[in-house]
Chain A
Amino acid sequence: MKFKSVFDIIGPVMIGPSSSHTAGAARIGKSARTLFGRQPQWVEVYFYGSFAKTYKGHGTDVAIIGGILDYSTDDTRITNSLETAKDKGIKVHFYQDEGATDHPNTARLKMGDERGDLELVGISIGGGKVEITELNGFDLHLSGNHPAILVMHNDRFGAIASVAQILAKYKINIGRMEVSRKDVGKEALMVIEVDQNIDESLEKELMHANHILQVAKIID
C-alpha cells in the first residue's frame, strides 16, 4: 500500500496552486535551509525541466525561497518571500537551465554566507513529496518523510560503527541508511533516516565520535 493514511488523501494543507510545483518546491527549499543550519546571505536557484518552463506561473520561485526562509508548505508568508528575502538582505538569483535531468521537476540550490556554503539538488515527485538527490557533490536519496541525520565523515573503518553505537545508546532505530564518497579514503557522507527526532545531546555526541567532520539533521 503506497498510501497509508487518510491524511495523504485529505491533505496536506498547502499554499496553491500545485502540490508538485509549489508545495514540493517549498519542501526542497526548507530541506536546504535545515541542512545549511542558518539563514544564508546569498542563494542561487537553478530550475530544470518543467520547473524551468513553468516556475513563475506556479510560484515555484516564491515557494523555494519561502522554504529557504524556513516556511512550511502552508505558511501564507510564502507569497511574499521574494520581498522578505530582499528585506533581509539575501541576494537571490534564478536561472533556467536547459540541461537534461533524470526527473522533470528538478531544482539545484546553491547558498552560502561568509562561514560556508551548500549545494543541493532536489526533485519533486508528485503530491508534494520530494527527494534530495545530491548534497555537496554526494549522491543520496533523502525523502524528507522521516527525521534524518546527515554525517560528513572521513572514509575510514570504524566511522559507521561509532555512529551506529551512539544511535543504539539513545535507542534510535534506523529505518534506512546509505553511505557515499567521492574518493577512497577522502570525505564521505552518511545519510541515516530514523523513526524518532534527534535531540541536541545526541547530535553533540555524534560530533565528537571518531572520524566525524560535521553533523546535520532534518526533523520531522
Chain B
Amino acid sequence: MFRNVKELIEITEKENIAISEAMIRQEMDVQDKTREEIIGLMERNLQVMEKAVEDGLKGVKSHSGLTGGDAVLLQKYMDERDTLSGHLLLDAVSKAVATNEVNAAMGTICATPTAGSAGCVPGALFAVKAKLDPTREQMINFLFTSGAFGYVVANNAFISGAAGGCQAEVGSAAAMASAAVVEMAGGSPSQSAEAFAITLKNMLGLVCDPVAGLVEVPCVKRNAAGASNAIVSADMALAGITSRIPCDEVIGAMYRIGQSMPTALKETAEGGLAATPTGKALAAKIYGISTEKE
C-alpha cells in the first residue's frame, strides 16, 4: 500500500515496475479480484471515455444553453488553418472540451476524478494516442497511472470543488493526466511525479466559481486549460526539468490553500465568475425561464 507519491515511486523502483503496474497490483489486493477483472473494469471506463469524445465532437448542447459546440469549432479550425499551438495540443483541448460538453448535456461520462473535471484525462490520452500509437493495454495503463496519483491526492487532500476549489478538481485531473502522459511517452516513474508536481503547481489557488451553480461556465474551458497544461508539463518533465518543491509537498500546499479558501469560492456560486454582473444575469435568466415553465 502506498500512502503518498514518495512511497509509490519507491515501490516502482524497488520492484522495477511502472506506476500503472503498482496501481493494478494494489487494486487486485484491495478488491481481492484477478488481474483480468480489474483490467476489464478499466476497459469499460475507457470505452465510456471514447464514446463521450466521439459524441462531443459531433456537437452537443446543454439544457441551459450555456455550453456546447466548442469542440466542433476547434476541430474545424484545426482542419482548415495552420494553428498556433499545434495539432496535438489543440486535439487534447478539443477532446477535453468535448467530454465536458457531453457531461453538461447530460451525456454519459466517466468521472476522472469528478464529473466536472472529466475532460482532462481523456483529452490528454486521446491526443497523445495519435502520436505515440499505444496498444490497448498501454491506454488502460494510462488510466491506472492517472488513478494512482488521484488516489494519493484524494486521501491526502481533496478532489472536489466544494471541498478545495477548482485546484482540487481540474488541478488534480490535469496533474494526473500529466503523470500518465509521461509514462506512455517512456518516461520514468520519478519523471511522472515531476510532471504531476509541475502541473499542480501551475493550478494552485484556482477557485470553483460556477455560473448559476452549473457544471458549465467556466468548467468546460478549465478542462481545456487542464489538458494543455498536462501535456506541456509532461514535455518539461521528459526534458529533465524537476520541481524544486517535491510532489507530496505540492499536494500538501494545495490542501492548505483549499482549506483557507473562502466558501464563496468553493462551488457555492456566490463568488468569482458566478458573482459577476453577467454571471448573475445568466443565472437569473436560466432559473427565471425554468420557473415559468412550471
Contacts and interface: CB of A to CB of B under 8 A. Distances in A.
B111 A12 contact: yes
A145 interface: no
A13 B215 contact: no
Given A16-B115, A57-B286, A126-B163, A11 B110 contact: yes
Interface string B134-159: 00000000011011101100110001
B111 A127 contact: yes
Nearest to A6: B147
B146 A10 contact: yes
A54 interface: yes
B66 to A, nearest CB: 9
A15 B106 contact: yes
Contact of A5 (B27, B45, B118, B213): B27
Given A3-B154, A5-B31, A127-B160, A13 B110 contact: yes
B264 to A, nearest CB: 14
A10 B115 contact: no
A11 B111 contact: yes
Contacts of A74: 48, 108
Interface stretch (B69-77, B80-88, B97-105, B186-194): B97-105
A56 B287 contact: yes
Contact of B41 (A3, A7, A22): A7
B44 A22 contact: no
A58 interface: yes
A14 interface: yes
A111 B217 CA distance: 35
Contacts of A4: 30
B226 interface: no
Contacts of B290: 56-57
Contacts of A6: 23, 26-27, 42, 144, 147-148, 150-151
A16 B99 CA distance: 10
Contacts of A173: none
Q: Chain B contact residues: over half helix, strand or loop, or mixed?
A: helix
A76 interface: yes
A3 B151 contact: yes
The SS class assigned to the A binding surface is mixed
| Most B C-beta atoms less than 10 A away, residue of A4, A7, A128 | A7
Contacts of B44: 13
Given A9-B159, A19-B115, A14 B109 contact: yes
A9 B115 contact: no
Contact of A16 (B3, B106, B144, B151): B106
B27 A8 contact: no
Contact of B108 (A9, A57, A76): A76
B42 A10 contact: yes
A184 interface: no
A53 B108 contact: no
Given A6-B42, A10-B42, 10 more contacts: A7-B147, A10-B144, A10-B146, A11-B111, A13-B110, A15-B108, A16-B215, A17-B215, A57-B214, A79-B106
Interface of B: 3, 23, 26-27, 30-31, 41-42, 44-45, 48, 62-64, 102-116, 118, 121, 143-144, 146-148, 150-151, 154-155, 159-160, 162-163, 176, 212-216, 269, 286-287, 290
Interface of A: 1-20, 22-23, 50, 53-54, 56-59, 62, 74, 76, 78-79, 126-128
Q: Which 7 A-B pairs have the closest CB atoms?
A: A16-B103, A9-B150, A6-B147, A17-B215, A3-B154, A56-B290, A54-B213
27 contacts: A6-B27, A6-B147, A7-B42, A7-B147, A8-B113, A10-B45, A10-B143, A11-B45, A11-B111, A12-B110, A13-B109, A15-B107, A15-B109, A16-B108, A16-B115, A17-B115, A17-B214, A17-B216, A18-B116, A19-B116, A53-B287, A54-B269, A58-B214, A74-B108, A126-B160, A127-B111, A127-B160
